Structure 1
Amino acid sequence: MDAVAPTLLGRVREVIRYKHYSIRTERAYVEWVRRFVAFHGRRHPRDMGAEEVRAFLTHLAVEADVAASTHQQALSALLFLYREVLEVDLPWLLNLARPKKPKRVPVVLSRSEVGRLFEMLDGSHALMARLLYGTGMRLMECIRLRVKDVDFERGEITVRDGKGGKDRHTMLPESLADPLRQHLLHVRALWGNDRAAGVPGVYLPTALARKYPGAPESWGWFWVFPASALSVDPRSGISRRHHAQEQTLQRAIKRALGEAGIVKPASTHTLRHSFATHLLESGYDIRTVQELLGHADVSTTMIYTHVLNRGGRGVCSPLDRM
C-alpha cells in the first residue's frame, strides 16, 4: 500500500483516540478502512464516493457473505472515516441502506443446565462464570472489573463504562462473597509482587493516570481478574499487567458445555440472558431487570419475556386441556 494509506490510517487512529473509543473499535475501524482502500486499488477515499462505498458493501454482502452485524460494522467504519476523519458530510452518506439484522430469540440455559455447566468449571473460570450469571454483567464488564468496584459491605458491584459509556450498579451474590474474598487474597499477592518488581501500574482510561499519578499502582485500581503474565500495551508500548484475556474464559465455557452434554449454541453471553430470564421467571419487575442489565430502553429487556419457561408466549396448549 502506498504512502498515503499509512498516513490515512494514522489519522483514523488519532481521531478514534481523541474521541476515547475503545481499542477494539480502533482495530476494527482501521481494518475496515484498510480493506476499503485496498478493494479500490489503493485510491484515496477523498477521490471516491457513494458508488465506491456501495460497491464495497455489496462485495461484503454478496461475495464475502458476511453477517448483518459485520456488514453494519463496516458501514459504521466508513461513515466514521468520511464524517469524522475526512470531515466530508455528503448527502449520500445519509442514504446508504443499512443491513437489516435478523431478530433472534436469545439462547437461555435452564437452571439445571447452568448448574451442570458450573460443575465442569474450576478456578477463576468458575468464579467468572458464576459472576456473569449471578450479576448479569457482560463478558468484558466482568473481565475489566477493578478491586475498588466490588463493595462487600453493600453487597453490590459497580459496573464502570458499560455499553454506551454508562455506569450502573448490580448485586454481588451472597454466595460469591467468600469465594471472591479468597480469590482477591491471591490477586493481592500478585499485585504485591508487581510492586516489588517495579512493574508499571495498570492501564487507566481517559488520562486518569495523569490526574491521579499514584492510582495505576494502587490496590484499588488493580484488576479483579488479572492476566497471569505481563503484556505490551498496544497504545503506549508499556509492558504492564493487563486484565485476563476474554478468550480464555470463552474457551473454558465452550469446553464445559460439551462436557456437561449441553447442545444449545451457548456462550458466555448466554449466562447474561439466563440471568435476566430467570429473574423474570421469579416474578421480578421488568424495570428492575432493565436497570440491572443496563439497557437504555425497556423494549430491549422485553425480548426475555418471549423465552420465559411457560411455553409459547405463556399460552396453555389446547392439547393439554383435553
Structure 2
Amino acid sequence: MSKSPFLQSVRTEIRTKQYSYRTEKTYLYWVRQFILFNDKKHPEVMGNHEIERFLNHLAVNRGVSPATQNQALCAIIFLYKNVLKREIENLQYKMSKTPRRMPTVLNAEEVASILGNMEAEYWLITALLYGCGLRISEALSLRIKDIDLKSRNLLVFNGKGRKDRYTLLPGNLRENIERQIAHSRAIHESDLAEGFGLTSVPASLHKKYGPVMKDFGWQYLFPSSTRCVHPIAGYVCRHHLHHSTYARQLRQAVQASGITKRVTAHTFRHAFATELLRSGSDIRTVQEILGHSDIRTTEIYTHIIGDRRAGTVSPFDRLPGS
C-alpha cells in the first residue's frame, strides 16, 4: 500500500504544506491503518461512521493513549479536509483529554550524577538540555551557525510550532562546545574530500540554496556517524545523531546513577524551568526562553516548587537590614 497513488497524493499534500518529515510519516501511518481497518475501502466512500469505528477500535481494542487517539484523528481530519476536500462535521468523537500530570524533575545533584556517567557528545547534549532548556529535537538539530559563543546566545531555529527563539548559553560550556565544533569540522572536511559535504535540510531549502548547504555553518553540531540519502530530495547528506541513540546512552547513565525516577531527555527541560523559577526568574522570561505559546504551560512549574509566585521577593525583604 505504501506505493498506492492515493497515499502518494496524501504525501504530496503534506509536503506542499511543508509539514515535518516526522509528521509525514505519522500521518501516512494512520491513514494507512484507517484504510486497512475498513477492509481497504477508499476514504472517498467512507465517512463519520467508519471514522468513529476506527477511533473507538483504537481506544477499546488497542488501548492507545489519549495523545495517540488525537494524533490519529488529526491525520484523518487532514486527509478529508486537504486531500478529499471534505469537511468532517458532527463527528461523535471528540479530542481525548490527556491527563495533566506533574512532570518529573531532577535536582542539581541528580543531574550532576547523570552527567558523571556520560561522555563526549552525549555529555554535551545533556548539558545543553539542562543548561538551555532545549527539547531533544532542538538540541540534536543545532547547526554551527546557531551558536554564538561570544554573546553566549543559542538560536533555536524552527522550534516547536515553527517558531524561532533565542535561549541563554552557559559560559562554562564554551570549551566543550569548541571541541564538538572541531569534531564536526573534521567530519565535514572528510566528507568534502570524498566528494560529499551536503547537510540534510528541508527539500525546499536544498532546492533554493543547493551547494550553499556544504558551508560549514550549516553543518550539525552533533553529526551522525554515517551519511544517508535524503528521504525526500534524494541527495546524499549527513544528518544529525538520532534521538534513539541518545535515549540509549541516557538510559544507561540513569541506571548507573542509581536514580529510580523516570528520566527522559525532556526531564532536563523540566529541571531547567524549575530551577529558573526557584531562583527568582520572572515567569514571562521563562516562558519566552522555553518557547511556550501559553503562559499556563509555564505555570505548571510554579506548582512543582510549591509557590505560584515563582520566587518573587517582597519589597520588605529587600529593605536594608531586614
Give the shorter-chain TM-score range. Answer: over 0.9
Cα deviation for residue 50 of structure 1 reads 0.5
- 2:301 maps to 304
Does the Cα contact within 8 Å between 1:202 and 1:217 map onto a contact in 2? yes
The superposition leaves residues 161-197 of structure 1 with CA deviations (integer Å, 9 ceiling, x where unpaired) of 0000000000110011111011111211111111111
Structure 1 distance, partners of 2:208, 2:58, is 44
Note the residue ranges of structure 1 that are not aligned, 5 or more in a row: 315-322
Q: Percent sequence identity over matched residues? A: 42
Displacement of 1:309 in angstroms is: 6.3
| 8 A Cα contact 1:145 1:223, kept in partner | yes
Residue identity in the other structure for 2:233: S
Deviations 1:67-89 (A, max 9, x none): 11111100000000000111111
Identify the residue that residue 16 of structure 1 maps to in structure 2.
Answer: 14
Equivalence for 1:34? 32
Q: Is the 8 A contact 2:203 2:232 kept in 1?
A: no
- For 1:43, which of 41, 44, 47 is the aligned residue? 41
For residues 253 and 87 of structure 2, what CA distance do their matches in structure 1 show? Answer: 49
Question: Do the aligned residues in 1 keep the contact of 2:125 with 2:139 (CA within 8 Å)?
Answer: yes
Equivalences for residues 54-65 of structure 1 within 5 A: 54-65=52-63
The amino acid across from 1:134 in the alignment is G
Partners in 1 of 2:16 and 2:284 — Cα distance? 35
Contact 1:20/1:206 (8 A) holds in 2: no
Q: Spell out, residue by residue over 1:27-71, the C-alpha distance to the aligned partner (whole angstroms, 9 max, x if none).
A: 010010001000000000110111100000000000100011111
Q: Do residues 266 (structure 1) and 263 (structure 2) align?
A: yes
1:232 and 1:239 in contact (8 A); partners too: yes
1:133–1:271 contact (8 Å) kept in structure 2? yes
Residue 78 of structure 2: SS of its match in structure 1?
Answer: helix
TM-score (norm 2): 0.92
Match for residue 319 of structure 1?
Answer: none
One-letter identity of the residue aligned with 1:7: P
**Does 2:188 correspond to 1:191?**
yes
Counterpart position of 1:96:
93
What code does the residue aligned with 2:17 have?
K
SS of equivalent to 2:63? coil
Deviation at 1:91, TM superposition (A): 2.2
Deviation larger for 158-167 or 227-236? 227-236
What is the distance in 1 between the residues matched to 2:256 and 2:107?
16
Q: Is the aligned partner of 1:148 residue 2:145?
A: yes
Partner residue, 2:74: 76
TM-score normalised to the size of structure 1?
0.92
For 1:140, give the aligned amino acid: S
Structure 1 residue corresponding to 2:128, chosen from 131, 134, 139 = 131
Runs ≥4 in structure 1, deviation > 6 angstroms? Answer: none
The match for 1:253 is 250
- Asked if the contact 1:281/1:309 (under 8 Å) is kept, the reply is no
How far apart, CA to CA, are the structure 2 residues paired with 1:46 and 1:17? 21
Q: Distance in 1 between matches of 2:35 and 2:211?
A: 43
Distance 2:155 2:194 in 1: 30
Distance 1:82 1:34 in 2: 14
The aligned counterpart of 1:320 is none
Unaligned 5+ runs, structure 2: 312-322
- Picking from 156, 162, 165, the partner of 1:165 is 162
CA displacement at 1:6 relative to structure 2 = 1.0
Distance in 2 between the 1:117 and 1:199 partners? 37
Aligned residue type for 2:156: V
Are 1:118 and 2:115 counterparts? yes
- Superposition CA RMSD, Å: 1.8
> Do structure 1's residue 278 and structure 2's residue 251 form an aligned pair?
no
User: Distance in 2 between the 1:243 and 1:234 partners?
Assistant: 14
2-structure distance, mates of 1:89, 1:200: 45
One-letter code aligned to 1:27: K
